[in-house]
Amino acid sequence: MSAGIAAVRKARTPQQRTRDDRLEKMLRALERAANNNAPCPSNEDLSHLMGYAGPSKASDLISMLEAMGFITVDRGFASRIVTIVKTGKKTAGTIGRRRQKGGWTEDRDAILMDGIAEGLTFAAMGKILHKSKNACISRFHALAASMGHQAA
């Protein structure tokens, strides 16, 4: 990362240089965990390392490193696995599948889409899935948007 950040440091303000130093420190901490096959440090641990009062700043730095392309993050409900892009090494751990908002699961999504394809109404699908008509309509539109032309 030092080479990547150093390349863009030329016309940086003092605040930007401070942020870059923090990003480098954060990346080194994540690299240490990945190299030692250790779990990704928690936001609380990273915030303590960085000298922050609260955990949200550490989360922000991880998001910035991810957006800059230095790491990828697989997020679970209570944990994450960070992959260092340059080396391909990952922090240890497993990601439990997140429960989808509103109780929608892949099975319920399939039932909804199959029912609509068979010509059932959203009201009928709501009764089958124990959801409201509007919940089924909203979920159908969300799925159709993510599927693109396949939903038609």
CA angle 55, 88, 71 (to 5 degrees): 30
pTM of the prediction? 0.58
The predicted structure's pLDDT at residue 93? 86
Structure tokens at 104: 């929608």
pLDDT averaged per 10 residues, the chain (length 152): 52 85 94 95 91 86 90 85 95 72 82 92 91 92 79 53
Of 44, 64, 41, which Cα lies nearest the Cα of 53? 44
The predicted structure's pLDDT at residue 5? 52
**Distance (Å, whole) CA 121 – CA 136:** 10
**Distance (Å, whole) CA 27 – CA 72:** 12
The predicted structure's pLDDT at residue 6? 52
**Distance (Å, whole) CA 36 – CA 83:** 13
CA 148 to chain centre: 22
Of 57, 71, 152, which Cα lies nearest the Cα of 113? 152
Identify any residues that bridge with 90 across adjacent strands, giving them in sequence order: 83
Residue with tokens 């960085």: 50
Q: How many residues does the chain have?
A: 152
**Distance (Å, whole) CA 80 – CA 60:** 14
Residue with tokens 């990346």: 27
The predicted structure's pLDDT at residue 152? 52
Structure tokens at 61: 């730095």
